[in-house]
Every structure is written in structure tokens, then in C-alpha cells.
Chain A
Amino acid sequence: MRMDAAEPAVRLPASPRLRWRRFVNRAFRVAVFGAVIVVLAPLVAILGTVISRGAPALDWDFLTSLPKPVGETGGGVGHAILGTLILAFGGLLMAVPLGVPAGVFLASDRMPRLGGVVRMCADVLAGVPSIVVGLFAYTLLVLPFKHFSALAGAFALAVIMLPTIARTTEEVVRLVPSTLTEAALALGAPRWRVMLRVVLPSAGKGVAAGIIAAFSRGAGETAPLMFTAFGSQFLSLSPLQPIAALPLVLFNYAVSPYDDWYAQAWAAALVLAVLVLAGNVVARFAMARRSP
């Protein structure tokens, strides 16, 4: 953020114009710094609040144990941490096999018109409110079976993850130099093998970063889970039963009348924030070091 390079190495005699330009330069610097602080302030405030309120209730027991009935102290969100992981990984299991090939297709430009339509659909899908996605999964996977399930929750998350994965894959596959594709084609390789053996490995880190970003996006979602995964007070591993998730626990506890639960909601928020932030940081790191 330093702008010293813009200053002349040798101080010229100050003419009125130069003084004016220096003033404008300084004014812009202040304005830009101000904008940065305004943008960063909410992030710092949120993190600060979550940490200060959540940390007191956070201990090993909270991370591993199940909720206790109202009135008893203690208990934790182990079931919800596991549930969020199951839902998010389940979502990836459905979104990755579709999203990565879709991104590869978009990057290939083989069918520009269809590609344009697919790209627009992905962008629209990314902009659909997540509660609508939840409703979609509800109609498709909850109503016909007449009960909530982890499967429906994972599906809803998959729909949310899909555009992220497809678009980041497209972006990083485009960055693979065409000279590599040409080299492989000139050796007689068919296009699908060029993609699998040359292009995707070269873009591997970037694709992984996109997947991690989608994971943390999905892990933080509440609305699509409210009437799909529904939430649960018990530890469940069955894909066909309702399952707990951190955002749902957070929502339920935060609006509950019990002080104990209210405190635990902050701790759950902290756990969720750490999970999502860790995903984002790992994704950023992988993106920054993607191979040329």
C-alpha cells in the first residue's frame, strides 16, 4: 500500500503546480487508506466479537460431545461438526464430478455458443438465493420420501458448490499454456487424454483451490439446510436420516431462550468461522502457488 515510488527521487523546486500535485497525491493516499479501513473494519469487528464471545465456552468437550438436555450444563456440538463435514463432503462428492468436467468444457471453447449458455447458467445459479436452492432440494428429495435427510442437505449444498467449482476450474484450466496442449496433440494424443494427463495435472492446484473454496462456501450455508438436512440433536451417520449441521445449531441456539445455549451458539459460530476461514486461507494459498 506504500506509494513512495510515485514521489520523485530528487525533490524539484516546488512550483505551485507541483505543490498542487503533491497535495492531490496525498489526498488520494488518505482516501484509499480510508476505504481499506472501512472495508476491513466489519471483518475485524465480526471476528473480534465471535472470538471474545465464543472462546469462553469453547473446550475439547464442546468439540466432541453431544448436546445435553436443557437444564443440564455442558454438552457440545460434536454431532454438528461431524454433520457439517458429512454434508459438505457429500456435496463435494456430487458437485466435483459435474463441476470439474463442466469447467474443462467451458475452458475448451469447443462449442462457443453452448459454452456461453452454460457459463451464463452457472453465473445465474451462483446468484440464486440459497433458500431457493433449499426449496428445490426439498421438492426433489424431501417431499417424495416424506422425511428430511442428509442426502437432501448434501444435494442442496452440491447445487450451491457447482458454479464455484465450474467457474474456478474454467479459470485455472485457461491458464495452462496452450503450448502444452499443442505439444501433447502433436505427439498424437487424443484430446481427452491431453486433458486428463497434461492439462488437469498442470492446473491441479488451482482446481483443488476451487474445490476447497466451494467446500467452505457450502459448510457455511444455513438456509438450504433448514428444510433438507433439518438438523438433529443426535449423532447420525445415515444419509437417509436428518443430520445436524453447525449453522443450524448456531441458528437454533442463538434464538433459544436459554443462556447456556446462547453461549454455546457463539462457540459454534467460532468453530464455523474457523472452519470456513481455514478453507479460504488454504484455497488462497494453493491458488497463489499454482503451477505455471
Chain B
Amino acid sequence: MSLASILVPLPDRSPPPARRVVTAPPAAQDEPRVAKMVVDSLSAYYGRNAVLRNVSLPFVERTVTAIIGPSGCGKSTLVRCMNRMHEIIPGTSVTGRVLLDGRDVYGGHLDPIELRRRVGMVFQKPNPFPTMTVRDNVLAGWRLTGTKPPDADAVVEDALRRAALWDEVKDRLKAPGASLSGGQAQRLCIARALAVQPDVLLMDEPCSALDPIATARIEELIHELAPSVTIVIVTHNMQQAARVSENTAFLYMGELVEFGATAGLFTRPADPRTEDYITGRFG
């Protein structure tokens, strides 16, 4: 699966239209398949270089959506546009819309600070704050936004339990955040993101720095969280996408090639490029 094996010539014609599921309008609350977030005609740029071109995707509430694709296809950029982390890098820009509960997060009614509290993020490498204790790491989302949790102890315990870390760290909440193992540190980061009760959790290759056992624990955790949080997971690992997600989007060269139910996409891909990628012909 090395980059050198990319032999697929790029078609000159524009790619066939992506398979899309019809999103239910936000009004249909009784519908089981409500899109919590919708990315609509989104393009993202570094300078004048487009890394994401006209991507439209729904993210169904309380399910896991996986984003797969080869390196550099724009997966990370896509999730970073969803909590407006893309714009922290100088020279970047975005066109199109990203809807959260039907309202555009770039529309001006929601500032990035409030947005990022509602749309949490877990990064590729575990990044607990080294100068803070385990407990303070969990509370960081509150304190760094200048707010006080109603009951700090309850918030810490609840977040750590949801991140399946409580039993391992309950006796060393005062230990430095950097003292945990890689897998524990990543679950601490998940607890930190969950502590502010986000509606959506963006996970940017959360297992790529972890060993298989730690990876299995995180995947288990994703399953446990799915009924309460809308999860978007970027992954290099197609088996992982197949295991944890309900819907999968395949991105290639900054464009959405295919989107659909995970089972369908992996067994009967509609686009030849998807088939080539999931059968390991490139990527």
C-alpha cells in the first residue's frame, strides 16, 4: 500500500457524481435518520491550492461515519473544517457551508469557541497537556473557555467513565497528564473532549499512534459512545472503518468519490476508484 504503487491514471473527465443519501430536513425530528451535521459544497484551500473540492456529505445523528482515503486526500482537512480548526493555519480559506443542526457554522451566528465546545476533536497523536494533572486535563475544556463545571468531581468521573479510563486512573487523578501510556493518554484526550458534553466528536486517525490492543479498546469505546454522540472518524485503516462505522465516505484527491452505508460501500462499491482503493490496488 505504498505511495509508489499509485498507478491509477487520473481521468481527464470530471468524476462521476457521488452516491449520496438523501438527508432528512432538520424539521423531521421523529425521523430516526437526522443529519446532525451536513457538509455542503465545501471547498478548502491552503493558499490557492484546493485540498478539498466541492464536498457534500451528511453526518447522521448518533451514528459513526468513517472517512477513508489515501494520504493527502483531504480527510483531515474535512474534519478540521467541521470545527473551524482549518482556519487557524495562516493562509487557509473555506467556501461552502457546514451545517450543525441545520445552521451554517460559517454563517456568523456561532463563534468558533462555542462551535468547538459543541464539536469536540481527538487528534492523531495523544496530546494531553503535560503541565496539567489527569484531573485538570479532563476539566481543561471548561477552564480554558473560562467556565466552571457545576460539579467538577462529577464531570471528571463521568467523562473518564465514558472514556473507559476511570478504573485505571481513579487513584492517580493528581498524576501528570504525561504519565499515562499512549492508549491511556488517547482515552484521556477522549475524556477531555467528552467532558464539555459535545454533540459531535471528530476523531482524526485516533488509533494511528497506538498498538493493536489499545486500538481495540478505542474501537470498543467508539461503539459505546455512538448512541450518545455523533462520531466522525478519519482512518487509514479500512478494516477499522468497516468495524466501527455505519456510513463511510471515500475521498480521493480532495473530492468525494463515494458515500454510503459502510456494508454496501465495502461489498459493492459503485465507483471503480473505491473498489481499487478498498481492494488495496493503491493507497
Q: Which residues of A are in contact with B by a Cβ distance under 8 Å? A: 109-110, 112, 177, 179-180, 182-190, 193-194, 197-198, 201-202, 204, 291-292
Contact = CB atoms under 8 A, between A and B. Distances in A.
Given A180-B127, A183-B129, A186-B85, A109 B116 contact: no
B141 A188 contact: yes
Contacts of B146: 193
Interface string B188-199: 010011001000
B154 to A, nearest CB: 19
A180 B117 contact: no
B144 A179 contact: no
B19 to A, nearest CB: 31
Given A179-B127, A187-B141, 10 more contacts: A180-B129, A183-B123, A185-B88, A186-B85, A187-B116, A187-B196, A189-B145, A193-B146, A202-B131, A292-B178
Nearest to A184: B144
Interface of B: 83, 85, 88, 90, 112-117, 120-121, 123, 125, 127-131, 140-141, 143-146, 178, 189, 192-193, 196
B85 A198 contact: no
Contact of A197 (B90, B120, B127, B143): B143
Contacts of A198: 129, 131, 144
A11 B129 CA distance: 51
Contacts of B196: 187-188
B179 to A, nearest CB: 13
Q: Ordered nearest first, which 8 A-B pairs have the shortest CB separation?
A: A189-B144, A188-B116, A186-B121, A201-B131, A187-B141, A188-B117, A179-B127, A183-B127
28 contacts: A109-B90, A179-B123, A182-B127, A183-B128, A184-B140, A185-B88, A186-B120, A187-B116, A187-B120, A187-B144, A187-B196, A188-B112, A188-B113, A188-B117, A188-B141, A188-B144, A188-B145, A189-B144, A189-B145, A190-B113, A190-B145, A193-B144, A193-B145, A197-B143, A197-B144, A204-B131, A291-B131, A292-B178
A182 B131 CA distance: 15
Contacts of A184: 129, 140, 144
Nearest to A203: B131
A193 B196 CA distance: 17
A187 B118 CA distance: 9
A187 B193 contact: yes
Contacts of A110: 90
A239 B83 CA distance: 53
A188 B145 CA distance: 6
A287 to B, nearest CB: 17
Contacts of B129: 180, 183-184, 198, 202
Contacts of A194: 144
Given A187-B117, A187-B140, A188-B196, A179 B83 contact: no
A185 to B, nearest CB: 6
A184 B145 CA distance: 9
A182 B189 CA distance: 12
A161 to B, nearest CB: 26
A183 B189 contact: yes
Given A187-B192, A188-B145, A193-B146, A291 B130 contact: yes
Contacts of A185: 85, 88, 116
A194 B144 CA distance: 7
A201 B129 CA distance: 10
B12 to A, nearest CB: 38
Contacts of B117: 187-188
Contacts of B178: 292
A96 to B, nearest CB: 20
A202 B130 contact: yes
Contacts of B127: 177, 179-180, 182-183
Contacts of B121: 186
A182 B85 contact: yes
A110 B115 CA distance: 22
Contacts of B143: 197
A291 B85 CA distance: 26
Contacts of B112: 188
Nearest to B146: A193
